[in-house]
Amino acid sequence: MTDLTFRRATLADLPAIVAMLADDDLGAARESAWEDGSQSYRDAFAEIDADPHQFLCVAEAGEQIVGTLQLTFLAGLSRQGAKRGLVEAVRIVRQQRGKRLGEALLTWAIEECRSRGCSVVQLTTDKRRLDAPRFYERLGFEPSHLGYKLPL
């Protein structure tokens, strides 16, 4: 497997991240081209980057950005005051799929959550992503919950 490094995203990574979000069967319909939407993406990036509970991650292979995900570390009362790690917006660049980079990215994320004292990692995946259950279940995730969304 290619050597990967994982690090906090910088503003310079933003076009590559947005390109990955858009180059996706579901994302294609809801993202805008970088040129059209760059201000809304920049604003969101600034807010994520300023929040100590957020970690927007990029995975690099050599000089190329090959993956991304967003981690949020959430304090909560339930489960005796357990901290949770929330995973959102997982993507691997199209040309690099099928090489288990996603597995490496999630394994990194799980360890990062553990090192920050989280006692559970949680995520949801759109039911239309037919390959996702096998992927997450191989990593040990259990499909114990239903995921609801309400667009405003």
* Sign of the CA dihedral running 74, 13, 25, 101: negative
Question: Considering beta carbons, is residue 2 or 135 the nearer one to its own copies?
Answer: 135
* Sign of the CA dihedral running 108, 114, 115, 118: positive
Backbone angles phi, psi at 106, to 5 degrees: -70, -35
**Residue 133 CB, nearest approach to its own copies (Å):** 7
**Residue 72 binds its own copies (CB under 8 A):** yes
CA distance 57 to 9: 5
Binds its own copies (CB under 8 A): choice among 58, 59, 66, 121: 121
Question: Considering beta carbons, is residue 95 or 116 the nearer one to its own copies?
Answer: 116
CA distance 132 to 135: 5
Q: What amino acid occupies position 68? A: T
Q: Which residues bind its own copies (CB under 8 A)?
A: 14, 17-18, 21, 27, 30-32, 37, 40-41, 43-45, 47-48, 51, 53-54, 56, 70, 72, 74-83, 86, 88-89, 110, 113-114, 118-127, 132-133, 136, 139-152
